[in-house]
Amino acid sequence: MGTSKAILTTIVTMAALLLVASVGAAAESAGTRVEIKAHGFDVPELTVPVGTTVTWINHDDDPHTVTSTDNAFRSPGLDTDETWAFTFTRPGTYPYYCTLHPLMTGTVIVRSGS
Amino acid sequence: MSERVDVDRRAFLQCMAWTGTGLLWSVSGGVLSSRPIGAEAAEAAGPPATFSFAQISDSHLGFKGEANRDVLATFQTAIARIRALDPKPAFLIHTGDITHAQKAGAFDTARQALQSAGVERTFYVPGEHDVFADGGAEYLERFATDPPGRGWQSFDYRGVHFVGLVNVLTYKAGGVGNLGAEQLEWLERDVAGLASSTPIVVFAHVPLWAVYPQWGWVTDDAGRALGYLKRFGSVTVLNGHIHQIMQKVEGNVTFHTARSTAFPQPAPGAAPAPGPMKVPADTLRGVLGIRELTYAAGRDALAVVDRTLA
């Protein structure tokens, strides 16, 4: 009895660990990360499921911003190697640009469900 | 009318002039010419200068990248060079990007440093780096106080009419430098009563001619502003933003872009993108600089001398 409970606990723990690992892997995948380099967003149009956190990282020597054209979000100035993340909780199309270099534009499309 | 402006812009690009360092530029009969600074003495017999003023640009205080690890030091060198100018400039014009990323204290640092330039007053226009984080709130509160407003301004000095324009406050996604209808209407009223013989000096951050639109080095409604200035016999336009010297003559209008005191940028199209350009440390000060402008009564245009920090 005690042994089977211990085994069950172990299985649940392992499953939980696997779940955490997979979530971590998803967060690190290229799909939720936008690299800023040479005055451009490397994924100009990104499609993600609702609830996704998207992270932008600036690799340029110039500062940049990630600023929604309709005020849905607005990053501070991102200096070299700085990152900024935003979690999209509602479906929709979110165009954005850099307020320093307005020719830099991108869009995040957030789909309901997964 | 608008077609004619477009043709003019194409012509601008076709005859963009590049210069090396240490050249004195002057305009005679609409033709731009240059000669080494050493030849200045030969001009001593000319009419006496009425006054001079200085331009400083793109100090980017707060920048910490490899292109210049100490932008405050090069800024202070630039100020020391202005202090050493003889004759003493009547005033100083800063054509924007005072700060790099609007970090706390950067505007104060710039102002304090500029107090040692030995000039009575410094006039400012903002660059996009001075206004991007807060839509210009901090800049306007500090610098647009006399008179209070949106940062554009004009003043007269010994018969020359100076106009400072703001073309970085109405940036929109996919857009470029822009003056906006309100400012253009102000400009039209501002110059309406002036005699066409009045020399005009315009200063703004982003170039008022199409230097390189692909990199945003252009002000989309500058044609309208220049239209209001067309009747004047001498118009000098001073810009920053591109961190390198370029000149252009269009009728009676002479355009000059200035060096930065912080770091150079690539020539148009010479790199995948604009931005701070790394050069060997021992050559950096040779591509940074200040500008001295001299107005001589009776001359068609201002004499412009660019000096490096080397």
Return phi, psi of residue A46, to 5°. Answer: -115, 130
Bin B81: left if φ > 0, else alpha if -120 < ψ < 50, else beta: alpha
Residue A11 has a pLDDT of 52
Q: Shortest Cα distance from A41 to chain B (angstroms)? A: 12
Q: Shortest Cα distance from A18 to chain B (angstroms)? A: 41
Q: What is the ipTM of this complex?
A: 0.79
Residue B298 has a pLDDT of 77
Contact A60 B174 (CB under 8 A): no
Q: Where are the alpha helices (DSSP H) in chain B?
A: 2-14, 71-83, 106-114, 137-143, 181-192, 222-229
Structural contact between residues B12 and B248, judged by C-beta atoms closer than 8 angstroms: yes
- Summary mean pLDDT of chain B: 86
The amino acid at residue A31 is: G
Residue B147 has a pLDDT of 73
State the CB neighbour count (10 A cutoff) for residue A20.
10
Structural contact between residues A97 and B154, judged by C-beta atoms closer than 8 angstroms: no
Residue B36 has a pLDDT of 40
> Does the structure show a pLDDT above 70 at A114?
no
Q: Which residues of A touch B (CB under 8 A)?
A: 38-40, 60-63, 65, 69, 76-77, 79-80, 95-97, 99-103, 105
Nearest CB to A76; choose among B67, B133, B275? B133
Contact A60 B67 (CB under 8 A): no
Place of tokens 């690890």: B69
Confidence bin at A71 (pLDDT 50/70/90): very high
Residues of chain B short of pLDDT 50, as ranges, are 1-47
Nearest CB to B273; choose among A39, A76, A95? A39
Residue B149 has a pLDDT of 87
Confidence bin at A113 (pLDDT 50/70/90): confident
**Nearest alpha carbon to residue B89 among B137, B123, B132, B129:** B123
Return phi, psi of residue B151, to 5°. Answer: 100, -20
- The whole-angstrom separation of Cα B83 and Cα B88 is 7
Closest-approach residue (CA) in chain B for A76:
B133
pLDDT digits (tens, 9 = 90+) for A7-43: 555 555 554 444 443 333 344 444 699 999 999 999 9
Nearest CB to B275; choose among A39, A65, A102? A39
Confidence bin at A56 (pLDDT 50/70/90): very high
pLDDT digits (tens, 9 = 90+) for B202-229: 999 999 999 999 999 999 999 999 999 9
Nearest CB to B272; choose among A38, A63, A69? A38
Contact B100 A63 (CB under 8 A): yes
Q: Which residues of B touch A (CB under 8 A)?
A: 64-67, 100-102, 128-129, 132-133, 171-176, 215-216, 272-276
Burial of B289 (0-12, 13-18, 19+ CB in 10 A): buried
Listing DSSP states for B197-250 in one string gives: TS-EEEEESS-SS-SBGGGTBSBTTHHHHHHHHTT-S-EEEEE-SSSS-EEEEE
Residues with Cβ within 8 Å of residue A97, at least 6 apart in sequence: A67, A69, A104, A105, A106, B172, B173, B174
If residue A107 lies in a helix (H) or strand (E), which one and from where to where?
strand A105-111
Contact A102 B274 (CB under 8 A): no
> Does the structure show a pLDDT above 70 at A94?
yes
